[in-house]
Structure 1
Amino acid sequence: MRMKAIYFVLAVLVSGSLWGQDAVNQFDEAGKRHGTWKKYFPNSKQLRYQGTFEHGKEVGIFKFYCEDCGSQPALVKEFEAGSDLAQLTYYDKGGKPISQGQMRGKMKTGTWTYFHKDGKTVMTEENYVNDQLEGPMTTFYANGNKTETLIYKQGKREGESRYYSPAGVEIKFFTYANDMLNGPVKYFDAKGNLIISGNYKNDAKHGLWQYFEGGKLVKEERFPKPNGQ
């Protein structure tokens, strides 16, 4: 009787172990991926990705790896319950964040943030609607000062754009329409003094351009120029 009990326990342990192995990379009755899935790079023990499917739909947290990532995922993708939204964070091999934001299916949405090499200091903030840039985009120097501020509409630059020196001084001002320079532009020196003022029309200089030195007007030009000038 004692031997039968031992065999029974062993059988339960073995079957449990086999069931645990079979629980990975399974399909449901409809042939859709279901449960825990793990994939490896060809001829390698390096994970390519791991995550959970619910009748063919990705749920919970997925981790994706590069061929020499080891245990550090290059991308962590977390799906919101009951939604097609997912929060993504990309990492370097040292585990520092590179960028993060949301995707709806295969399209970027909402605010995306990109980091400098320290993984903490924000380098760029941009906004997406249906995978197209929409609204303000701001880029920062490593010291936290702004590098530039742009505005996008349906993926194209639109409106005022400003550019700054590392010290935080505005050095350029551009105006865009339909992703082309259209309207006033200004250039400033390192102290913020105006040195050039002009206009663009469809990416070409247009109208009156003025040049300054020490706050005084020293030169004027008009565009387009007559042929030969």
Structure 2
Amino acid sequence: MKYFIILASFMLFMACNQNDQTTTNADPQTSTADPYIHVDIEGTNVQRVILKNRDGKIREEGFMLDGKRTGMWIIFDRSDVFPQKIISYQNDLYNGPYYEFTERGQMILKANYINNKLDGYFARYKFSKEVVTANYINGKLNGEYREYDERKNFLTKVENYKDDQLHGKVEYYNQDGVVIMEYGYKNGKKMSGGMVDQ
């Protein structure tokens, strides 16, 4: 019985693979062959799309719906083990989570997009620790922007933004977490501030 289940699973897998159609599309604008491999997903307008390098290793993979990128796409650079980027698409635009990684698989950037514009939490990392955090709304900085020391991981600066302009307090910190400089901004213009007496 165990062997029958394994054999039936294998036959089902092979049957599914035979129904997928692999095509290489020609680009009518450039008259050169499309380097992507397109695999139709039966019963849908979705295709699995793969780009390989000269050595046959996957460089990009993801899905297309009606000829437009959709869902998660994975981009590889030199490493074929860890992705360089993971990008969320909807209607061929960045929509959703976006990540970048080092060749060793450490995250260096985390963001969110809506229609190709940064929207939501944003962070840069070094050695798996946050070095910059921010918040975006419709492609513009809004709210707190924070910077951290790359080596000792302490907060060094906090800025406040409104529609991509400094608005509110800007504070600089020493290693002990004490404010050493403070400025006040309104709509991008410095209104006050300087060194803070200890």
TM-score, length basis structure 1: 0.65
Q: Report the counterpart of residue 72 of structure 1 in structure 2.
A: 57
Residue 203 (structure 1) aligns with: 188
Partner letter of residue 51 of structure 1?
H
| Same amino acid, percent of matched pairs | 20
Tell me what 2:171 maps to.
186
Q: What is the CA distance between 1:74 and its match in structure 2? A: 1.8
For 1:97 and 1:126, the matched residues in 2 are separated by 16
**Corresponding residue of 1:164:** 148
Q: Within 5 Å, which residues of 2 pair with 1:117-196?
A: 117-118=103-104, 120-142=105-127, 144-166=128-150, 167-196=152-181
Displacement after TM superposition at 1:168 (Å): 1.8
CA contact (8 A) 2:160 2:169 kept: yes
What residue in structure 2 maps to residue 102 of structure 1?
88
5+ residue gaps, structure 1, are 1-33, 217-229
| Preserved contact between residue 52 and residue 58 of structure 1 (Cα < 8 Å) | no
Post-superposition offset of 1:134: 1.0
Maintained 8 Å contact 1:72/1:93: no
| Aligned pairs, number | 170
What displacement does 1:113 show? 1.2
Kept in 2, the 8 Å contact 1:72–1:94? The answer is no
Q: Which runs of 4+ in 1 moved over 4 A?
A: none
2:125 and 2:36 map into 1 onto residues whose CA distance is 33
What is the CA distance between 1:191 and its match in structure 2?
3.2
In structure 2, what is the equivalent of residue 61 of structure 1?
48
The alignment partner of 1:88 has SS state of strand
Match of 1:36 in 2: 22
Letter in 1 for 2:74: T
Supply the distance in 1 between the matched residues of 2:158 and 2:78 (Cα, whole angstroms).
38
The separation in 2 between residues aligned to 1:72 and 1:54, in whole angstroms, is: 22
Contact in 2 for aligned 1:39/1:47 (Cα 8 Å): yes
In the other structure, the counterpart of 1:26 is: none
Shift of 1:51: 1.2
Equivalent pair of 1:112/1:126 in contact (CA under 8 Å) = yes
> Higher relative CO (CA 8 A, sep ≥ 6), structure 1 or 2?
2
CA distance in 2, matches of 1:70, 1:48: 14
Q: CA RMSD in A?
A: 3.0
- Cα distance change of structure 1 residues 117 and 94 upon mapping to structure 2, 3 Å threshold: closer
| 1:90-127 deviation per Cα after TM superposition (whole angstroms, max 9, x unaligned) | 00133131010320121111111111231x21111111
